[in-house]
Amino acid sequence: MKKTTHQPVDAAEVPRFAGHATFMRLPAVPTAEGLDIALVGIPWDGGTTNRAGARHGPREMRNQSSLMRRIHHVSKIAPFDLANVADVGDVSVNPIDLMDGLKRIEDGIASIVAAGAIPLAAGGDHLTTLPSLRAVARSRPIGMIHFDAHSDTNDTYFGGNRFTHGTPFRRAIEEGLLDPKRIVQIGIRGSNYELHEHGWALEQGIRIIYMEEFVRRGVEDVMAEARDIVGAQPIYVTFDIDCIDPSQAPGTGTPEIGGFTTREAQAMVRLLEGLDIVGADVVEVAPPFDIGGMTALAGATMMFELLCVIAAKFR
Ligand code: MN
Ligand code: MN
């Protein structure tokens, strides 16, 4: 029996530029009760070490997500028919207190998990993924597929500060939220602080697929290995928009040239179908550095790609 699910506002009835901006023109709902997948904003960039602005990401991704339609053109997945999806708004944030900010984000995502829904979040900087993992991986360590120019496994910044957008995954491993042997990082590149920058991550067993290896092997080979590593157990998928080349996604705080095309990023995410995704996010979209909304559009579209592979679980 077909279940009743929320549907986007029909663009043939109300044009895309009209009305309230919600993720993918879905209804705005007060809680995740009754949802299968909750689209949520995390407008917080208190972990940013260089160019701030990702706090404005959710609002612009909502705006650009008005361009999404109902059916994925390759997989034919119709996410809004398979799953009950809506926009639950933004989590509560505190822009002037980092530790309180992390607590509020964790509480917000935990309320989605408690309602039985899968969170698909729009950041925010990459430190927001740490409290999200605290909420979704509370009971057991999970795996992770991580698209990024950066490993984000550094230890401290600025004299012992342990919480920045360059450290979330070291903290998550230390806290037992992630099983490092089930983590794959894809697209890593750029200059390093130290010769053995990723030594700690590699020692934990994280599989780092640098951009140069990706270029040699291609999308399908790399994603086949990534799927093998994470296996059938629960995973989180985190998509840092700076994995895409700044020529296609300039609106981000820590751009690195030599990145993925949006087409490569889409092809990779499509190959996540069938994995047990228990949470996902698109982070580091910083509208103050964007040009004509192109980075927010890339972020919103990657959210739609992620939504489709998550919704496939409900077939
Ligand atoms: Mn990152
Ligand atoms: Mn990054």
CA of 195 to the centre of ligand 1 (A): 20
CA of 152 to the centre of ligand 1 (A): 6
CA of 148 to the centre of ligand 1 (A): 6
Q: Each residue of 249-296: pLDDT tens digit?
A: 999 999 999 999 999 999 999 999 999 999 999 999 999 999 999 999
| Residue 205, pLDDT above cutoff 80 | yes
pLDDT of 299: 99
Question: Distance between CA 31 and CA 35 in Å, rounded?
Answer: 9
CA of 68 to the centre of ligand 2 (A): 25
Question: Distance between CA 282 and CA 65 in Å, rounded?
Answer: 13
From the CA of 244, the nearest ligand is 2
Among 133, 115, 114, 139, smallest CA distance to 42 is for 133
Mean pLDDT of 179-183: 98
From the CA of 129, the nearest ligand is 1
Specify whether the CB–CB gap between 39 and 87 falls below 8 A: yes
Report the first-to-last Cα separation within the chain, whole angstroms. 12
CA of 240 to the centre of ligand 2 (A): 6
**Phi and psi dihedrals of 67, rounded to 5?**
-85, -10
Residues with CB under 5 A from ligand 1 (ion): 126, 148, 150, 152, 240
Residue with tokens 């530790």: 99
Percent of the chain scored above 70 by pLDDT?
99
From the CA of 259, the nearest ligand is 2
Report residue 117's pLDDT band, with 50, 70 and 90 as the boundaries. Answer: very high
CA of 150 to the centre of ligand 1 (A): 6
pLDDT of 1: 53
- Domains in the chain with CATH codes: 23-314 (3.40.800.10)
Q: Each residue of 13-44: pLDDT tens digit?
A: 999 999 999 999 999 999 999 999 999 999 99
pLDDT of 3: 78
CA of 141 to the centre of ligand 2 (A): 23
Q: Each residue of 137-149: pLDDT tens digit?
A: 999 999 999 999 9
CA of 54 to the centre of ligand 2 (A): 12
CA of 122 to the centre of ligand 2 (A): 15
CA of 4 to the centre of ligand 1 (A): 37
Mean pLDDT of 234-243: 98
Question: Distance between CA 306 and CA 240 in Å, rounded?
Answer: 13
Contacts of 18 (CB under 8 A, 6+ apart): none
From the CA of 169, the nearest ligand is 1
CA of 17 to the centre of ligand 1 (A): 31
pLDDT of 2: 65
pLDDT of 105: 98
pLDDT of 240: 98
| Residue 86, pLDDT above cutoff 60 | yes
CA of 48 to the centre of ligand 2 (A): 11
Sign of CA dihedral 42, 46, 47, 48: positive
